[in-house]
A and B are shown apart, each in its own frame.
Chain A
Amino acid sequence: MKKLVVFLFATFLAFQSAGCADKEQNSDTVKVTYWEKWSGFEADAMQAVIDLFNSRKFRNKDGKMIRVEMSTVSEIDRRLLTAVAGGNPPDVAGVWTWIVTTYAEKGALLPIDDHLREAAITEDRYIPVFWEICRYKGKMWGLPSTPASVALHWNKRLFREAGLDPNTPPLSIQEFDEMAEKLTLIKLPGQDKAISFYELKTRTNYKNLLGQGMIIQMGFLPSEPGWWPWSWGYWFGGKLWDGKEKVTADGPGNVKAYEWIRSYSEKYGVENIKRFSSSFGAFASPQNAFLSSKVAMVREGVWMYNFIDKYATGMDWAAAPFPSDGGKLKDVTYAEADILVIPRGARHPGEAFKFISFVNTQEAMELLCEGQRKFTPLKNVSEDFYARHKNPYIRVFRALAESPNAFITPKMVIWQEYLRELNFAYEMTRDLKAEPKKILSDVNKTMQKRLERELEMSKRSGEKR
Chain B
Amino acid sequence: MTKEEKREFIKGILFTSPWLIGFSIFVIYPVVASFCYSFCYYSVIQPPRFIGLLNYKDLLTDPIFWKSLWNTFYFVIFMIPLGFVASLSLAMLLNTKVRGMAFYRMIFFVPSLVPMVAGSILWMWIFNGEYGLLNNFLIKMGIPNPPNWLMDVNFAKPAIIIMSLWGLGQTIVIYLAGLQDVPVALIEAADLDGANWFDKLWNITIPMISPVIYFNVIMAIIGGFQIFSQAYIMTGGGPQRSTTFYALYLYQTAFEDLRMGYASAMAWILFVVILILTMLVQRISKESVYYHGG
User: Cβ of B129 and Cβ of A457 under 8 Å apart?
Assistant: no
In the assembled complex, A417 has its CB within 8 A of some CB on chain B: yes
Asked if B255 contacts A278 (CB within 8 A), the reply is no
Give the contacts of B241-284 with A (CB-CB under 8 A): 241, 252, 255-258
A106 and B258 form a contact (CB under 8 A): yes
Q: Give B92 Cβ to nearest chain A Cβ, in Å.
A: 38
In Å, the complex CA distance between A277 and B152 comes to 13
Q: List chain B residues, Cβ under 8 A from A103.
A: 45
Q: Is the CB of B258 within 8 A of A274?
A: no
A274 near B151: Cβ-Cβ < 8 Å: yes
A414 CB within 8 Å of chain B: yes
State which of A49-57, A78-86, A310-318, A360-368 sits at the interface with chain B: A78-86
Which one, A11-19, A35-43, A65-73, A424-432, is touching chain B? A424-432
Interface string of B56-84 (1 = CB under 8 A from A): 00100001000000000000000000000
Contacts A278-B129, A278-B148, A424-B240 given: A81-B153 contact, CB under 8 Å? no
A102: B residues at CB distance < 8 A: 258
Q: Which residues of B contact A457 (CB under 8 A)?
A: 41, 49, 51
Contact indicator B252/A420 (Cβ below 8 Å): yes
Is A275 in contact with B148, judged by CB distance below 8 angstroms? yes
**Given that A274-B148, A427-B240, A431-B240 are contacting pairs, would A453 and B258 also be in contact in the complex, using a CB cutoff of 8 Å?**
no
Residues of A within 8 A of B49 (CB): 457, 460-461, 464
Please name all residues of chain A whose beta carbon is closer than 8 Å to the beta carbon of B129 when the two chains form the complex. 274-275, 278
Instruction: Give chain B residues whose Cβ lies under 8 Å from the Cβ of A433.
Output: 240
Q: Would B241 and A424 count as touching, CB distance under 8 A?
A: yes
A275-B45 contact in complex given A416-B256, A427-B238, A427-B239, C-beta closer than 8 Å: no
Closest CB in chain A relative to B34 CB, distance in Å: 15
Looking at the assembled complex, report how far the CB atom of A376 sits from the nearest CB atom of chain B, in whole angstroms. 31
Query: How many A-B residue contacts, CB cutoff 8 Å?
Result: 71
Q: Is A264 an interface residue, CB under 8 A from the partner?
A: no
- Asked if A271 meets B148 with Cβ closer than 8 Å, knowing A278-B128, A279-B130, the reply is yes
In the complex, B198 has a CB within 8 A of chain A = no
Q: How far is the CA of A78 from the CA of B152 in the complex (A)?
A: 30
Given the complex, which residues of B lie within 8 Å of A464, measured CB to CB? 47, 49
Cα A428 to Cα B242 in complex, Å, equals: 12
> Which single member of B58, B131, B240 contacts A453 (CB below 8 Å)?
B58
Mark out the residues of chain A between 79 and 96 whose CB falls within 8 Å of any chain B CB in the assembled complex. 81-82, 84-85
Q: Measuring CB to CB, which residues of chain A are less than 8 angstroms from any residue of chain B?
A: 78, 81-82, 84-85, 102-103, 106-108, 271, 274-279, 344, 414, 416-417, 420, 423-424, 427-428, 431, 433, 446, 453, 457, 460-461, 464-465
Q: Provide 18 A-B residue pairs closer than 8 Å at the C-beta atoms, listed in order of the A residue.
A: A85-B44, A107-B45, A271-B148, A274-B148, A274-B151, A275-B148, A278-B130, A278-B131, A279-B131, A344-B45, A416-B257, A417-B256, A420-B252, A427-B238, A433-B240, A453-B58, A457-B49, A465-B46
Sorted nearest first, the 3 A-B pairs with minimum C-beta distance are A278-B130, A278-B129, A279-B130
Which chain B residues have a beta carbon within 8 Å of chain A's beta carbons? 41, 43-47, 49, 51, 58, 63, 128-132, 148, 151-153, 238-241, 252, 255-258
